[in-house]
Structure 1
Amino acid sequence: MADEGDSSDKTEDPTQKRLDEAHDRGDVAKSQEVNTWFMIAGATLVLSSFSGSIGGIQMPLRNLIANAWMVRVDGPGLLALGQRLEYMLLAALGVPFLMLVIAALAGNMLQHRLVWSGESLKPSFSKISPAAGFKRVFGKQAAANFGKGLFKLLALGAVMAAILWPERLRLESMLQFGPETMLSVISSLTMRLLGSVVAMLAVVAIADYFFQYRQWYERQKMSLQEMKEEFKQSEGDPHIKGRIRQLRHARMKKRMMTAVPKASVIITNPTHYAVALSYERGMAAPICVAKGVDLIALKIREIAKAHDIPIVENVPLARALHASVEIDDEIPVEHYHAVAEVIGYVMGLRRGFSGQRA
């Protein structure tokens, strides 16, 4: 009952991370019917394409048996005979065997990526659990397997009847044929049967693959809690991320306040915004060393007053600079003229103060 409750909570589509983890465990969507179809289709192709080359070993073997008295029976002679037979078999069966291997691999690779996992070899209580065994016997998978088996049995019987029934008279008279004629008729009927079986199994394989994929996809679904946990693992805990942002903000604020005494001018609006700019001769453009709103702006002004940094009230310029320039960056080109006027004004004040002191 607990399992049913847990599965009913898994209503969310799986993430790519969840699907990748399932693949790494060896849990993939796989239909055995697809593998069976590829093997039978490959065997049919081999028989139709290479039956002549396979039969090509008849003559060498016939000659070998007819001239067996000439075969040397000493060690080197038997070794040479074994090598000849090996080469003949490889020439006749090598390519067909390779095609069957390719068909077997293609049946798996078409369904999923290559899997390298020993997870299925680990002992699991679910494999010997009576409840799991009951579910395997009476579950959806068992019902699907029973349906597939019944359909294949009926379809195969119908195919054989449709092909062999019209040939019943010729099959009855085959006892009067010679071996070569009988072999030709049997080969023709066999290829027709295999072709029909391949076509019938293609329908079964396609339907079974979509069924197996749907079953696998349903197993990978996630609950809302699992989605949250995965998000925390991949993106980080929101509380931790918030704390990190606070620490970064505190460090940036401390660094800004340390840089305010080095500023050339503070531009304010005058209460809510404050932007501290630093400029020396030879620089391409003034640099923003600190900025802030409300309490931070008030702190910037207090430090500026304590270090005799000029404070200039310019509402639109203060707002524009606060929105467009980052700490330690040069001011944008569009503000060069307005800032140049402020810097010139500040330098003029400084020259005036210097003249009065002199």
Structure 2
Amino acid sequence: MNHNTNEEKTENPTEHRIKKSRKKGKTRYSRELNSLLVLLVGFISIWCYRDWIFSTFSHIMANSFYFNKNIIDDNNTLLKTLFFLKEILFIFFPFLISLLIIIIVPAICLSGIKLNFQSLSFNLTKLNPFQGLKKIFSFQIIMEFFKIVLKLCVVTSISFFYLYVSFSAILFLISENPVSSIWHGCNIIAVCCMLVILGLFPIVAFDIIFQELNHYKKLRMTYQEIKDELREKEGNPSIKARIRQEMKATIRRRMLSDIPKADVIITNPIHYSVALQYNEKKMNAPKVIAKGIGEIALKIQDLALKNNISIIAAPSLARALYRYSEIGQYVPGPLYQAVAEVLAWVWKVRKWKKEGGIFPEKPKNIIVPSEFNFTGEIKNND
């Protein structure tokens, strides 16, 4: 199939295209949003546990900087050191857990769980230096560089501005006692960190919008691609048509093989033929076992003659049965009376065949309800 490679991709991506890209590990999740969430959650978790962290560290530092000559002869010194390390790890355990959750949960919520093993497959084209140079000077890399420079400028500007404003408070820490100095110094750093995080919000918002637009731009499709995908999804039209023909042929053969079981054939008399079967001991109502128009109608009548099955011409009833009944189903309730007249004549014919006498007169003026009158065009059902 010849595709126009210069055709512009103007169509929105289909759901199938989006799912296919997700399977390949291509998502629109913003890395800047992930970085901001890590900073924000990390800062909040440390801020919430600041009193506990400060008191625990004060205790550890007081014991660590305490010197006693007996420590040299103490065999448990190493164990005490390991205990301090364990205590430090225990302090930061909530902080580490919160970071782990914020790294995993948003990515799953926004992109879903997709184990992409295709990215691990060996691909020689990735070693092509020309492809590498093309990626280096691509629009995506330029935007990433722009965001890095912008973040660096924002972080530097906010930090220097706040430290400049707080310079007198920082100098005043020298005159305070060590514990109070550390506490106030940490507060200054915390406020600075919070201002930096707030300053990153506009950059993250810009990156989210950019990633969303860029993701769907890459997934956009040409009109030809949509047609090819639809053809691939639904199957080749010629193959589907051949399958339908085979299915119709199978149904037709099965239908014609049931003709010998029929009690009567109701005809138009040429264009329509409907075969009915009724066993009063096994059936609640007459059943349609075959129907057809055109050549199929003539085949039904021919088989009926060969199997000595009664044929009656009732144009309006034949059309109604063909239009409003299905093969293997009972005839519609409103047509019971008209069908009953036909079956009564069939039983009279069977009795005549056994006993002889005058041939039963065919029913005339079989009434079909007005809502079941059908005078549609004849269509070949081959």
- State the TM-score, normalized to the length of structure 2: 0.82
Question: Kindly, what percent of the aligned residue pairs are identical?
Answer: 28
Quote the residue 1:240 is aligned against. Answer: 239
Aligned pair in 2 of structure 1 residues 165, 7: CA closer, same or farther (>3 Å)? Answer: farther
Q: Distance in 2 between the 1:73 and 1:324 partners? A: 102
Quote the residue 1:197 is aligned against. Answer: 196
Task: List runs of 5+ in structure 2 lacking aligned partners.
Answer: 359-382
- State the TM-score, normalized to the length of structure 1: 0.87
Q: Distance in 1 between the 2:273 and 2:107 partners? A: 66
Quote the residue 2:141 is aligned against. Answer: 142
* 1:265 and 1:277 in contact (8 A); partners too: yes
Listed one character per residue, the Cα deviations across residues 88-107 of structure 1 (whole Å, up to 9, x for unaligned) are: 23431211111121122234
Quote the residue 1:209 is aligned against. Answer: 208
Listed one character per residue, the Cα deviations across residues 211-248 of structure 1 (whole Å, up to 9, x for unaligned) are: 12322222223334443443333322211111111111
Superposed counterparts of 1:92-103, under 5 Å: 92-103=91-102
Q: Which has the higher contact order (CA 8 A, sep 6+)?
A: 1
Quote the residue 1:32 is aligned against. Answer: 31
Letter of the aligned partner of 1:167 in structure 2? S
Aligned pair in 2 of structure 1 residues 78, 276: CA closer, same or farther (>3 Å)? Answer: farther
Letter of the aligned partner of 1:329 in structure 2? Q
Q: Secondary structure of 2:273's partner?
A: strand
Q: Secondary structure of 1:29's partner?
A: coil
Superposed counterparts of 1:275-286, under 5 Å: 275-282=274-281, 283-286=283-286
Larger mean Cα displacement after TM superposition, 145-154 or 275-284: 145-154
Q: Displacement of 1:117 after TM fit?
A: 1.6
* 1:38 and 1:107 in contact (8 A); partners too: no
Q: Distance in 1 between the 2:215 and 2:185 partners? A: 43
Superposed counterparts of 1:1-358, under 5 Å: 6=5, 8-57=7-56, 58-60=58-60, 62-63=62-63, 66=66, 69=70, 73-74=74-75, 77=76, 81=80, 84-85=83-84, 87-282=86-281, 283-356=283-356
Task: List runs of 5+ in structure 1 lacking aligned partners.
Answer: none
Q: Distance in 1 between the 2:110 and 2:256 partners? A: 61
Q: Displacement of 1:65 after TM fit?
A: 5.5
Q: Distance in 1 between the 2:6 and 2:97 partners? A: 44
Aligned pair in 2 of structure 1 residues 55, 276: CA closer, same or farther (>3 Å)? Answer: same
Q: How many residues align?
A: 352
* The structure with more helix, counted as a fraction of residues: 1
Letter of the aligned partner of 2:41 in structure 1? G
Aligned pair in 2 of structure 1 residues 110, 309: CA closer, same or farther (>3 Å)? Answer: closer
* 1:34 and 1:107 in contact (8 A); partners too: no
Q: Secondary structure of 1:291's partner?
A: strand
Q: Distance in 1 between the 2:308 and 2:12 partners? A: 62
Aligned pair in 2 of structure 1 residues 203, 257: CA closer, same or farther (>3 Å)? Answer: same
Q: Displacement of 1:277 after TM fit?
A: 0.4
Note the aligned Cα RMSD (angstroms). 2.7
